[in-house]
Amino acid sequence: MWFFFMLLLIAHVGMQAMPTEPPLTATKEELHWFKQIMNVIRNNTLTKQQKMEMIRAMPSNQTSAEKDNDMEDISKTIDLFQWFSVEKQNTTESVKNIFEKLAEMMFETDFFSKTSTEQAEDLQSMSKLGEKLTGSDAHVLLDLLNRFEKKIDELGLDSTPFLKTAK
């Protein structure tokens, strides 16, 4: 389940490129399941309960206890995405555009199968979009990222093993 929280880590550290760090990589199978889970979580036509049921029904090699533990984290992640979706709507078009591009990069491409250099280049391009923001839009973006980080802490997602190690 550590892979599922890579997205949170990138937002958590402020979308900064870390070219000297090892890449956040995944196997093809991990990437496949990540995309499947994220497609369910990002589907705004489903209720939280429907999302949980769909994800629980996905095949896995986990024990029942492992699956239950992961479902707790998934529940919190659904809460985070629902919160973020509402918060994002209250921002400016420029800030929404940055988050749309970030979501596209993270969920609709093979970002996690790229080398660290390629990942750094992608993240750098996101950073360049941020540099083009007006002062007030940059403030809105930073405020949302700070609130996002606090929400991660509030939901207890910062205590996942992957995020603990990454901090």
For 86-141, how does the pLDDT look when each residue is reduced to its tens digit (9 = 90+)?
Answer: 998 889 999 888 888 877 777 766 777 778 788 788 878 877 887 888 889 988 88
Res. 13: pLDDT tops 70:
no
pTM of the model: 0.73
Identify the band that residue 163 occupies on the pLDDT scale cut at 50, 70 and 90. Answer: very low
Spatial separation of the C-alpha atoms in residues 40 and 38, rounded to whole Å = 5
Name the most confidently modeled range: 19-33, 123-137, 151-165: 123-137
Q: Read off the tokens for 146.
A: 């700070």
Structure-derived torsion over alpha carbons of residues 133, 23, 72, 86, reported in degrees to the nearest 10: 10
Residue of 144, 24, 140, 18 whose CA lies nearest to 80: 144
Res. 10: pLDDT tops 50:
no
Spatial separation of the C-alpha atoms in residues 124 and 59, rounded to whole Å = 36
pLDDT of residue 48: 97
pLDDT of residue 159: 60
Spatial separation of the C-alpha atoms in residues 24 and 41, rounded to whole Å = 21
Structure-derived torsion over alpha carbons of residues 153, 156, 159, 76, reported in degrees to the nearest 10: -120
The overall average pLDDT reported for the chain is 76
With beta carbons less than 8 A apart as the criterion, state whether 130 and 98 touch: yes
